[in-house]
A and B are shown apart, each in its own frame.
Chain A
Amino acid sequence: MIRILDITFKDLLQLMRDFKTFMFLLLMPILFTFLFGYAFGGFGGNSDSRLPVGYLSQDNHWVTDSLHDLLSESDLISLRENVFLSPADLEQQVANGDLAAAIIVPHGYGRDVLKNRTDLRLIVIADTNSTAWTSVEAELLRITSRLDGAVRTATIIERIDSERMPFHYAFEKTLDAWNDPPIAVTETKSPAVAKVSDSGAALAHTAPGMMLQFAIAGLLTAAQIIVTERKTRTLQRLLTTSTRRIDVALGHFLAIFLLLFTQFTILIVFSQVILKVDYFRVPEATALVAVSAALCISALGLLIGFAAQSEEQAITFSLIPMFVFAGLGGAWVPLEVTGATFRAVGHVSPVAWGMDGFENIVARGLGFESVLLPSAALLGYALLFFSLAVWRLYASEEK
């Protein structure tokens, strides 16, 4: 049993001997998280960098309420409502640059939309030469056409099946369908979205993404130790001693785990303290996801180490999870914005579960229960990878 720890200790000693690599593994993630965080617009934590848009409704219709809901859900604009302000006040604020634009909903707007009449329009006050306006205009167009589309579809459905599908219900359904569009990729591709998106939300996504991304870099380094061990025949020599193969596997596994877990811990503390990504909101949940993710990625590292015949192969093997798992798993782009199909496929990747786990804590504000499923999935993957690695070690009959 104690030989497991001997092997772990030896591996860590080797890792630390390679000082530059060691520092790379621990410092680069911090640097990158920092840079990306900065690129997403500072570290306000809770600050809202959406464009402020004034909103004044003179209409009292449920369609108008739907419009209001859609606007307030927007990632691009942040509604500023003050019932005490007159249209003139809003105009003044836009002129001062306090607001990017102001929307005034005229009386009867909702009814007209429903009747498919276009004589009444939204009144929008804006400086049409400003760059902010381009973004706001696009967003407004998107939202109004979505509302319009929902109304028309509901009208059609009602005409077809008025008995079973009352208009209200059809309208809600159609609007909901927009919430989960089959393919929403076009939205995410728009650079405007990224540029002005909420920095807090961006960081809450970037920080875990970076963390998992670099864990895979760490995995590669650790897997290299195993590959080198085979290449220098020290692995074979180990197998001529009375040390059991399972102990060899566990020793290496523990070493990779400790490396990755240290990485995670440093990054979590750094993100929490400096970037204000709120990992400590549910500390036990963060710990559980971190341990599960580290176990899972370590097992993958072990598998790569035992499966690769050369350093080059190990790199190739590691690039696959790096791109496929991290890309597919949403470490680069949130899976939310990629549509349902991609999201489902993405969850083949353990990284997706890792992202889910961390984001449930830091981005979605969910509780401890929310990380149980992602953690279980990660542990399942860990077990799968570890078994494959051990099988590979036992099956390998080396000269």
Chain B
Amino acid sequence: MENLPAIEVLSLHKAFGENRAVQGVSFKVGQGEIFSLLGPNGAGKTTTISMLSCLLRPDDGDARIMGHSIRSDGNGVKSALGVVPQDIALYEDLTAHENLSFWGKMYGLRGSELKKRVDEVLDIIGLRERANERVGKYSGGMKRRVNIGVALLHKPKVIYMDEPTVGIDPQSRRNILDSVVALKDQGMTVLYTTHYMEEAQELSDQIGIMDHGQMIASGTHDELVKLVGGQTRIDLTVNAEPQRILGAWQSVEGVEQASVEDEKISLLVADSNQVLPHLFEAATRQAVRITSVDIREPNLEAVFLHLTGRALRD
């Protein structure tokens, strides 16, 4: 039981007619880990999650959730699972309390246990005071929190969260990210999808990058960043023709690549702390003023760009 991966995905395929939404996705999530699926719109994240929660039948491939096959043991899968859908799936004409009670019952909770869990979850999502208002009257962020709360009621071993922070205010977002970490601390396994690379970076033990239905890379944040060579990008603008300074900067030690696009000079460097002073010196010598500096540490955005030639977000 100890070594059993919480989620083990084996070459899942799903097509909607001609549209091959998921094409051979495989990954493994250890118990108590947070795994993020990062990918742009239409990458196939939700389709993957739907298959993993037995809502969609895969065309090919299989997956095991806590050892239960999604093909042959749907009930086993469902009882191990809490799902936070991408769309807010709540009864708007019922109150938060009524929603939680109802969903608790659907997860098989009863009586005093149900009551206790509903109260606990209301505390976790920070909505105890407003529990008796209709969900339809809540703000987007509050709805999102209830949407998550529902999936926590029966203390599942594995929880899927499909873009739980889309379209909400920073405060609610913070609350949600913190609660995801809290879940991990309690030993839950979290499969998290997002197209915000900052979230994936902050939360995850492992990250899988998806595009066009395929897993194009996966690993820890550091492993993924190494794929782009671990270089930092520095974008600069100057008050003169970029060409006047470009040559000097290219010969600064530590600058590995330089290019000009529009009026902007982009340098790829190994260590920005070491290179930057030399850049200023060179500029002074040429009587050129640097008007802006933008330092970009290697990140998942760059990894995605590197792997697909496109930006993660348009």
A contacts, CB < 8 Å to B = 2-3, 6, 10, 13-14, 17-18, 232-234, 236-243, 397-399
Which listed residue (A6, A10, A236, A241) contacts B94, Cβ 8 A? A10
B99 to chain A, nearest CB (A): 9
Are A236's CB and B91's CB within 8 A? no
Are B56's CB and A6's CB within 8 A? no
Chain A, Cβ-Cβ closest to B150? A237
Among the stretches B4-12, B103-111, B210-218, the one at the interface with A is B103-111
B270 to chain A, nearest CB (A): 45
Give 5 pairs: A residue, B residue, CB < 8 Å, sorted on A: A13-B94, A233-B87, A237-B103, A240-B53, A240-B81
Interface centre among B54, B107, B134 (most CB of A within 10 A): B107
Are B91's CB and A18's CB within 8 A? no
State A18–B90 Cα separation when bound (angstroms).
Answer: 16
Which listed residue (B50, B78, B87) contacts A241, Cβ 8 A? B78
Are A239's CB and B92's CB within 8 A? no
State A238–B50 Cα separation when bound (angstroms).
Answer: 13
* Residue B23 at the chain A interface, CB threshold 8 Å: no
State A286–B47 Cα separation when bound (angstroms).
Answer: 51
What 1/0 flags go to B146-188 for Cβ under 8 Å of A?
0000100000000000000000000000000000000000000
A234: chain B residues within 8 A (beta carbon): 89-91
Which listed residue (B56, B79, B150) contacts A242, Cβ 8 A? B79
B55: chain A residues within 8 A (beta carbon): 236, 239-240, 397-399
A195 to chain B, nearest CB (A): 46
Which listed residue (A6, A232, A233, A242) contacts B102, Cβ 8 A? A6
A231 to chain B, nearest CB (A): 9
Contact of A240 with B105 at beta-carbon distance under 8 Å, contacts A10-B91, A233-B87 already known: no
Q: Which B24-49 residues have C-beta < 8 A from chain A?
A: 46-47
What 1/0 flags go to B67-80 for Cβ under 8 Å of A?
00000000100110
Are A242's CB and B91's CB within 8 A? no
Other CB < 8 Å A-B pairs besides A232-B89, A233-B85, 19 of them?
A2-B105, A3-B105, A6-B106, A10-B91, A10-B94, A14-B93, A17-B134, A233-B88, A233-B89, A234-B90, A236-B55, A236-B89, A237-B85, A238-B106, A239-B54, A240-B53, A240-B85, A242-B78, A243-B106
State A158–B21 Cα separation when bound (angstroms).
Answer: 82
A232: chain B residues within 8 A (beta carbon): 87-92
State A311–B54 Cα separation when bound (angstroms).
Answer: 26
Are A236's CB and B98's CB within 8 A? no
Are A241's CB and B106's CB within 8 A? yes
Chain B, Cβ-Cβ closest to A15? B93
B102: chain A residues within 8 A (beta carbon): 6, 10
- A contact patch SS: helix
State A237–B106 Cα separation when bound (angstroms).
Answer: 10
State A240–B83 Cα separation when bound (angstroms).
Answer: 7
* Residue B57 at the chain A interface, CB threshold 8 Å: yes
B contacts, CB < 8 Å to A = 46-47, 50, 53-57, 75, 78-79, 81, 83, 85, 87-94, 98, 102-103, 105-108, 110, 134, 150
Are A6's CB and B105's CB within 8 A? yes
Contact of A236 with B85 at beta-carbon distance under 8 Å, contacts A3-B106, A6-B106, A399-B46 already known: yes
State A17–B54 Cα separation when bound (angstroms).
Answer: 32
State A10–B94 Cα separation when bound (angstroms).
Answer: 9
State A243–B154 Cα separation when bound (angstroms).
Answer: 13
Chain A, Cβ-Cβ closest to B75? A242
State A233–B110 Cα separation when bound (angstroms).
Answer: 24
Are B83's CB and A397's CB within 8 A? no
B56: chain A residues within 8 A (beta carbon): 397-399
State A242–B81 Cα separation when bound (angstroms).
Answer: 9
A399: chain B residues within 8 A (beta carbon): 46-47, 50, 55-56
B88: chain A residues within 8 A (beta carbon): 232-233
B106: chain A residues within 8 A (beta carbon): 3, 6, 238, 241-243
Are A241's CB and B107's CB within 8 A? yes
Q: Which 10 A-B pairs have the closest CB atoms?
A: A237-B89, A233-B89, A241-B106, A240-B83, A17-B93, A6-B105, A240-B53, A242-B78, A234-B89, A233-B87
A238: chain B residues within 8 A (beta carbon): 106
Are B93's CB and A18's CB within 8 A? yes
Interface centre among A6, A239, A242, A243 (most CB of B within 10 A): A242
Contact of A240 with B54 at beta-carbon distance under 8 Å, contacts A3-B105, A233-B89, A234-B90 already known: yes
Contact of A237 with B83 at beta-carbon distance under 8 Å, contacts A242-B75, A399-B47, A399-B50 already known: yes
State A240–B82 Cα separation when bound (angstroms).
Answer: 8
A13: chain B residues within 8 A (beta carbon): 94, 98
A237: chain B residues within 8 A (beta carbon): 83, 85, 89, 103, 150
B78: chain A residues within 8 A (beta carbon): 240-242
Are B108's CB and A242's CB within 8 A? yes
State A21–B107 Cα separation when bound (angstroms).
Answer: 30
